[in-house]
Structure 1
Amino acid sequence: MIGQTIRDLRKEKRVSQTELAKIVGVSQTTVTAWETGKAEPSSSAVSNLADYFNVTTDYLLGRPEKKKEKQNVELTDDDIIMTYQGKELSDEDREIIKRLMNGK
């Protein structure tokens, strides 16, 4: 699977196997072996490929992205400044928004 991804990304960038090999620091036959599934890139090669193609290593490895955890934020937290049209919300406005968000 990683081989097909490497091949697709390489073709998308219109780079030859020889050019990609030079960029990553391996031989052209190594790139061919990756793309045909006869070899797997090392972790450092995966990292270099991800940097070059501007993708994550997880993307190259065919892993789905993790879902971001939902973060609960209290409207009363002093660290959070909530504004509307450039003006800070009053405590009363925060309470109204809190009730609306809770469906009350």
Structure 2
Amino acid sequence: MFSTFEKIKELAKKRGIALSKLEETLGYSTNYFYSLKKKAPNSERLQEIAEYFNVSTDYLLGRTDNPNVASEIVTTADGRTVDLSNLRERVVLFDGKPLSDEDVDKIAQIIKLSLGVSDIESE
């Protein structure tokens, strides 16, 4: 398993950017990334780095090998894709009344299950 430092170093290398330049761009102190060899970043910094590289924080922490940010675009067993990301923005009513966020989450889960897609597959 790679450390957070190693993941960041790898991502910077892929982008062709030196760690010192990345520290400058993000407004971090000199050698900040090297300090991550011995300590974990705070959640705010971790999120900033993840957003910069467009990867998940779990990827940076070595919890997953999948760098993709969690998505509500699911792929069914037969290859169809379904976008559930804007379900909350759509007018969602039942019996003429708006549904709560909890109800919308339940509906999204029902849709995923009916398509044969688990939460793990949709990330």
Aligning the two structures, in what range does the TM-score lie when normalised by the shorter sequence?
A: 0.5 to 0.7
Number of corresponding residues:
70
Residue by residue, what CA displacement relative to the aligned partner does 1:36-67 show, whole Å, maximum 9, x if unpaired?
x123211111101111111111111111369x
The question of 1:50 aligning with 2:92 is answered no
**1:18 maps to which residue?**
20
Decide which structure has greater strand share: 2
State the match for 2:113 in structure 1: 71
Q: Which has the higher helix share?
A: 1
1:30 equivalent among 32, 57, 73: 32
Give CA deviations for 1:80-99 in whole Å, capped at 9, x if unaligned.
xxxxxxxxxxxxxxxxxxxx
Q: Distance in 2 between matches of 1:43 and 1:25?
A: 16
Corresponding residue for 2:9?
7
Query: TM-score, normalised on structure 2?
Result: 0.49
Q: TM-score, normalised by structure 1?
A: 0.57
Specify every segment of 5 or more residues in structure 2 that has no aligned partner in the other structure, as ranges. 75-108, 116-123
Q: CA deviation at 1:27?
A: 1.1
Larger radius of gyration: 1
Which residue identity is paired with 1:7?
Answer: K
TM-align CA RMSD: 2.2
What is the alpha-carbon distance in structure 2 between the residues aligned to residue 24 and residue 46 of structure 1? 11
CA distance in 2, matches of 1:55, 1:22: 20
The 2-side partners of 1:31 and 1:22 are apart by: 11
Q: How big is the shift at 1:30?
A: 1.0
Output the CA distance in 2 between the equivalents of 1:9 and 1:42: 19
Whether the 8 Å contact between 1:24 and 1:45 is mirrored in structure 2 is no
SS at match of 2:113: coil
